[in-house]
Amino acid sequence: MFKFLSREPLHDPLASPASGAATEVKTTTCYMCACRCGIRVHLRDTGNGPEVRYIDGNPNHPLNQGVICAKGASGIMKQVSPARLTQPLRRKQGAERGDGEFEPISWDEAFEMLTERLAKIRATDPKKFALFTGRDQMQALTGLFARQFGTPNYAAHGGFCSVNMAAGMIYTVGGSFWEFGGPDLDRAKLFVMIGTAEDHHSNPMKIALSKFKRAGGRFISINPVRTGYSAIADEWIPIKPGTDGALFMALLHELIASERVDHAFLKRFTNAPQLVVLDDCARQGLFAFDPNPEKGPPGDGRNPHNKLVWCKATRQVLNAYPEGIADGCDPALEGHYQLADGTRVAPAFQLLRERVAECTPQWASAITGIAAERIRALAREMGETALTQAFELPIEWTDAWGKLHKTTQARPVAFHAMRGLAAHSNGFQTVRALAVLMSVLGTIDAPGGFRHKAPYPRHIVPNYRAFNSPEMIQPNTPLNAAPLGFPANPDELAINPDGSPIRIDHAFSWEHPLSAHGLMHNVITNAAKGDPYRIDTLLIFMANMAWNSSMNTMAVREMLNRKDESGEHVIPFLVVCDAFQSETVAFADLVLPDTTYLERHDVMSMLDRPISEFDGPVDSVRVPVVPPSGQCKPFQEVLIELGSRLKFPAFTTAEGTRKFKDYPDFIVNFQPQPGIGFLMGWRGADGQSHLRGEPNPRQWEMYAKNDCVFQYHMPESMHYMRNWNRAYLDFAKEKGWRQKNDPVQLAIYSDTLQSFRLAAQGRTAGRRPPEHLRERIATYFDPLPFWYAPLEEAATDLQAYPLNAITQRPMAMYHSWDSQNAWLRQIHSHNYLQVNPLTAQAAGIADGGWCWVESQWGKVRCMVRHSEAVEPGTVWTWNAIGKADGAWRLAPGADEARKGFLLNHLISEELPFGAGTISNSDPITGQAGWYDVRVRIRPAAPEEPEVTFPQVATVPGGKS
């Protein structure tokens, strides 16, 4: 038994190996956060098998080049954590959910129990099984499992993380930040980071920033709080949370008014010159098109089509597709025109110009708190750096229309943004505004700007159609479309004939049409309400939904234990798979013990979320470096086993026998398309093919021998301008990364969004939103970016609750993952509310004093730190530091429970809407509005206990 309060070390990495024992170094991939650095695990033989001695960065790895962070180096403490779950557990008869009273069972019993239950659901009503996963890295497998099961009720954590960032950028430029693309700091001269403190791309960002600063680059951080990367910024521009979109609109106003935009880029590579119908008709706000059927069908928001431009040289309407802008054509970006049939039209850019005309720096200043002159100067600096400090690289490339470009144009202004923009109910349009700002400066996939990483850019809109009708859910039948996707028009929504949601989380419904990553934050609330129906089994993997991953935490805990009139739980069966005894485990009916990242195989696949670099695709793997502890089994193996027992077609041979022995076998042999598998390196029977080729039985061995990573270097001519780069587009199609090889024109104007608005306005035949959602859709599905106040503001008395409250993730702790980590706990065992001294003094709260933080939804008591690194209208704290007493096998009374706290108690997962409620999320994507809550603060009374509030009953530690 581990002793937390003992002075005895849990593990002594400096102790000598047993006499004569060998030491060994194995390489694998870190998973102490989502960054996926290469690591070397130093092992010693104890006589009882290998033991981890220490972990360092792998210098040969392309991502981190040997750099390791505090979390990565502390993996050893994860391995020996007392909070490990080591055997399957079943809730004891008579014990309540939340009590943590379990009895051990064997894996056979667990599989039999699950198989019997799931088989019944699959044979009757597959949607009654819901699979939701946290920050896992195998969504290609979990998504395949859900699809083969036949349930649409599947998603990972993206809906409560940063789907606004992914969707807002992908629907505009075809790619996004982090895994999908990022700032080219090797060639940038100005770097503007917005809404980012610590990043998913953690060590690579630190490496790039340090080189950038040494090379004399200028780094501006725009954030309500100055922490993390902002600490080394040349300038910190404080901004009020949820107002970034107003800043971007004002920057666009200034850049367009001063003509500091890349006109040539806009004309050739974006939809800025394409003509939009202005007349009051069923096609109002859509692009005009050539009615000649030989020019292709009218667009559906996904495919390039026969759009038109106005040629200023010849004063004629010309086709923009499929030929592209003809030689000698000078397409207008401004003005109003008439087509031959009298239809009034204007270039999309003209409409953008009109949109931002009112968005002056003075207007934005009143919203953001940034002085108007500072906004003007920022726009000037961005425009001048992009345009007058531009340079060309001697790299030839040919565009999608056959034009040879002798050089590649650099635009040395790079941006990076993440959850600070995304986690607001106005985040999608805010991110759209940023993407349009980056586009007008010509920085997309340009040297010094934003660069894609393979397999991006995707089509706008990506060719992933989700399922869209209840008939597609049939007993014992896989879904014939993916559970998740990117809708291009209302026909692609997952709705019933009456317009109501099909999914339990209401994703892809009229409530949140473009919810590409689902809405995990509403699953338990909706399931408890039976809205739109009751489910039977909820399988949660690696997500702490009974604590820091839910808004309104106490209510969610109550819902997990709620029973109906017949005494049955409203969520009848709850399965939790995790490696550690989190708060959520205590609520499970069945606990499946996962392995740590050092004990299993894993892939970071091109089918999912690879670790590609700007210059080419990269995928990587984990291989076991130590055996599993106890009876731990990787969740991947659980899925392969269940899929085989349930006889999913993809997991079963024509003769009805099991197709894959185990997860490594599945990874090598599963091919969604001929020659394409989960891993792209060392394919073909002889291992000599890359990217595409037949399965290679020795593929894992080759990865293990090569630092667990495969990197493919594309020729220089494919490094840039990949939205329109003929060689790259052909190559990407041939390798299976894209379905088509057509160019990806940037969507300055989104006819996709307009198609939803037209449906809401009742102008189009076909699907229309239910009455109560029409105004909402018509308002927010604006084809041009705009800023609106976060939705929670309209439901809040701002006089009573004047402050914004936000959280951020510290560099030394990834969400709640290392709550049990003996080393990392020493850095963050409790948290404070960080308050500007002016604000704290006005409220009468001393530095280190206790205070109450109240929102209209709830209250917490916590300690305060005065900090000048936060703008006066905002308070903030680290997320996921506070714990339920006893969870994670921390000693009762540990600082995490008594001094640590969560802001989640102040945030509601629902907002009032009409006569009912609706998810507290972005109305376009369903992204959780974590950072929209408004609060007030007051001192705690001297006689109050110096303990955080609320407290919950001590979790007994999953005892058996």
Residue among 932, 924, 928 at smallest CA distance from 773? 924
Provide the 3-class DSSP secondary structure of residue 360.
coil
Would you state the torsion angle of the CA atoms of residues 91, 96, 100, 104, taken in this order, to the nearest 10 degrees?
Answer: -20
Cβ-based nearer residue to ligand SF4, 37 or 748: 37
Query: Between residues 32 and 256, which has the closer beta carbon with respect to ligand SF4?
Result: 32
71 versus 722: smaller Cβ distance to ligand SF4? 71
Specify the residue, 137 or 908, whose C-beta has the smaller distance to ligand SF4: 137
Least Å distance, CB 610 to ligand SF4, is 15
Nearest approach, Cβ of residue 37 and ligand SF4 (Å)? 3
> Which is nearer to ligand SF4, 320 or 709 (by Cβ)?
709
Q: Where are the alpha helices (DSSP H) in 404-453?
A: 419-422, 427-440
End-to-end CA distance of the chain: 14
Residue ranges binding ligand SF4 (CB under 6 A): 30, 32-33, 35-37, 64, 68-69, 71-72, 202-203
Q: Which CB sits closer to ligand SF4, 812 or 863?
A: 812
Distance of alpha carbon 450 from alpha carbon 484, whole angstroms: 26
Q: Which among 635, 537, 624 has a CA at the least distance from the CA of 593?
A: 635
587 is written with which tokens?
């609520």
Q: How far is the CB of 220 from ligand SF4 (least distance, A)?
A: 24
What is the CA 695 to chain-centroid distance, rounded?
Answer: 31
CA pair distance 413, 193, nearest whole angstrom: 11
CB nearer to ligand SF4: pick between 33 and 574 = 33
Q: Which is nearer to ligand SF4, 229 or 573 (CB)?
A: 229
The smaller minimum CB distance to ligand SF4, of residues 182 and 369, is found at: 182
In this structure, the strands spanning 833-835 and 803-808 are unpaired
The SS3 assignment for 864 reads: strand
Smallest distance, ligand SF4 to C-beta of residue 817, A? 9
Q: Which is nearer to ligand SF4, 601 or 936 (CB)?
A: 601
Residue nearest to ligand SF4 (CB): 72
Q: Smallest distance, Å, CB 140 to ligand SF4?
A: 20
Are 81 and 63 in contact by the 8 Å Cβ rule? The answer is: no
Amino acid at 260: R
When the beta carbons of 385 and 620 are compared against ligand SF4, the nearer one is: 620
CB of 93 to ligand SF4, least distance (A): 41
Output the smallest distance, CB 431 to ligand SF4, in A.
Answer: 24
Task: With CA atoms as reference, report the closest residue to 137 among 740, 636, 771, 800.
Answer: 636
Are 668 and 640 a contacting pair, CB within 8 Å? no
What residues contact residue 97 under an 8 Å CB cut-off, 6+ apart? 91, 560, 561, 569, 574, 586, 587, 588, 589
Give whichever of 209 and 933 is closer to ligand SF4, judged by the CB atom: 209
Gyration radius (Cα) of the chain, Å: 27
Q: Which residues contact 333 (CB under 8 A, 6 or more apart)?
A: 263, 266, 267, 272, 273, 347, 349, 350
Main-chain phi, psi angles of 229, to 5 degrees:
-60, -30
CB atoms within 10 A of CB 279: 15
The smaller minimum CB distance to ligand SF4, of residues 55 and 255, is found at 55
Contact 130, 527 (CB under 8 A): yes
**Residue 19 burial (CB count, 10 A):** 6
CA atoms within 13 A on the CB side of 258: 19
Min dist. Cβ of residue 480 to ligand SF4 (A): 37
Side chain identity, residue 742: D
Q: To the nearest whole angstrom, how small is the minimum distance from the Cβ of residue 222 to ligand SF4? A: 23
In whole angstroms, the minimum distance from the beta carbon of 72 to ligand SF4 comes to: 2
Q: Which is nearer to ligand SF4, 484 or 604 (CB)?
A: 604
Question: Which residue, 70 or 326, is less far from ligand SF4 as judged by CB?
Answer: 70
Both tokens assigned to 171: 């629907």
Q: How far is the CB of 242 from ligand SF4 (least distance, A)?
A: 28
**Is omega for the bond preceding 532 within 30 degrees of 0, making it cis?**
yes
In whole angstroms, how close is the CB of 200 to ligand SF4 at the nearest point? 9
At its nearest, how many Å lie between ligand SF4 and the CB of residue 290?
Answer: 51
CA-based angle 516:522:526, to the nearest 5?
A: 120
Count of CB atoms within 10 A of residue 940's CB?
A: 18
Alpha carbon distance 895, 877 (integer Å): 16
Residues 6+ apart with CB under 8 A from 306: 289, 290, 292, 295, 296, 297, 298, 319, 321, 322
Q: How far is the CB of 282 from ligand SF4 (least distance, A)?
A: 51
- Quick one: 137 or 537, whose CB is closer to ligand SF4? 137
**Structure token pair of residue 811:** 């560099």
DSSP string, 606-674: TTS----BTTB-EEEEE--SSPPSTT---HHHHHHHHHHHTT-GGGB-TTSSBS-SSHHHHHHH--SBT
Q: Report in angstroms how near the CB of residue 286 gets to ligand SF4 at its nearest.
A: 44
User: Which three-class secondary structure state does DSSP give residue 27?
Assistant: strand
Smallest gap, in angstroms, from Cβ of residue 814 to ligand SF4? Answer: 7
Q: Rounded to the nearest whole angstrom, what is the least distance from the CB of residue 812 to ligand SF4 in the complex?
A: 9
In 678-812, the DSSP E strands lie at 709-711, 803-808
The distance of closest approach from Cβ of residue 594 to ligand SF4 in the complex, given in angstroms and rounded to an integer, is 18
Nearer to ligand SF4, 587 or 817 (CB): 817
Residue 32 vs 251, nearer CB to ligand SF4: 32
